[in-house]
Amino acid sequence: MATVPVTYAFIWASYDFTFSPTGDPASLVDPNDFVLQCAEGESIRDHGNPINVPVATLQGWVDQWHPSATVRCSLWINRHHILPQSWIMGFLYTYGTSISRPTFLCGEFSRAGWWYYFPLAMLFKTPLATLIGLSPVLVLWLRWRKILSADAVWPLCAAGGAPVLYLLAAMHTPLNLGLRHVLPVYPFLFILLGVMAARAWEWRPGPTAIVLCVLALALGMETFCAYPDFIPFFNVAAGGARGGLGLLSDSNVDWGQDLPALAAWRRQNPQCQLYLSYFGTADPRYYRMHYIEVPGDIFKHPDQTRPSGLPVFYAVSATNLQGTYLSQASNLNWLHDRQPVAILGGSIYIFDASSQPHR
């Protein structure tokens, strides 16, 4: 119980013991914007998490929405200044976006997520050498009776309990955004690999040395081939970064990290009209490149937008190309039949509007 007051004091200290986000007591955030996020999320969840909801239908659900105990409690805390407002609004935002959110897995869309999302994400994005090291074949080769000796059962259970519980909790949540949410599991896997290697060395030093050298070389080669674009990394068995486009979305592939690469491409191709559908929070104008922003809900076929006399190119972030969050993803379907002329960093795809569909 002593941790509760310590945590409470630490939260206030982190915000300089000031309730207002700006330090000005008269300058407060309107909680209605964050409550609306919660209203939409809870309404969609309560109606079965349909992937596409018409705006009018969603508005009707929100109008009939009754705030949950979590939302009511957060608003009460805000009214009585029990915690800093920035912390409260951040909690509401996180809660609202985690209740029901579009997600993508193996070409399918969902708002409720899949219980097997994170196991598959780990299977796709863990280097192949690491997976081979953890494979049942290698475990059998090490002989379970040697690994699970009487004196090793309790340490194995103690070390494995935390990551197993964490992974089970992650598999229960509908927030299927990225492998980053289960990164705490990986240190325990690496410890397991180390223990297995040590046991194998005691049992068969010669063959173990060969296997470890091969796996280390394979891991080094896969890492070198992925450098420096590690965010869209997928192992060789999953098809690499290009294959990952059909498997996972969002931070598994695309966090808007390749605007500098797009700016460099734009400098090399100044005599063209560039349409940009960008997924990220950075402002592309910072990089001083000329482009036309194309939001997903008005993305048109090039024959309808082509200016005369200039070649037309489309730069589309991977997440937008998949249509994970766009209101009218079908507007991008004409791009799916075309080969990109360039893939920048694994997350921005460049298409020549004059190219013919790939058959």
Helices (H), the chain: 3-14, 32-46, 55-63, 69-79, 85-99, 117-125, 128-133, 136-141, 144-147, 153-172, 186-203, 205-226, 240-244, 259-268, 302-305, 318-322, 333-336
* Dihedral sign computed on CA atoms, order 71, 73, 69, 4: positive
Per the model's pLDDT, the better-predicted residue between 130 and 306 turns out to be 130
> pLDDT tens digits, residue range 64-114?
999 999 999 999 999 999 999 999 999 998 898 888 888 999 989 888 889
pLDDT of amino acid 295: 62
Helices and strands in the chain, H and E counts: 17, 7
- The C-alpha atoms of residue 276 and residue 265 are separated, in whole angstroms, by 13
- The C-alpha atoms of residue 119 and residue 106 are separated, in whole angstroms, by 13
Per the model's pLDDT, the better-predicted residue between 303 and 149 turns out to be 149
- The C-alpha atoms of residue 165 and residue 187 are separated, in whole angstroms, by 14
Name the band, by pLDDT with cuts 50, 70 and 90, for residue 326.
confident
At residue 255, what is the residue type?
W
pLDDT of amino acid 329: 45
| CB contact at 8 A, 253 and 245 | yes
- The C-alpha atoms of residue 314 and residue 292 are separated, in whole angstroms, by 10
pLDDT of amino acid 246: 92
Q: What share of the chain is helix, strand, coil (3-state, %, to 5)?
A: 55, 10, 35
| CB contact at 8 A, 199 and 142 | yes
Share of the chain above pLDDT 90, in %: 43
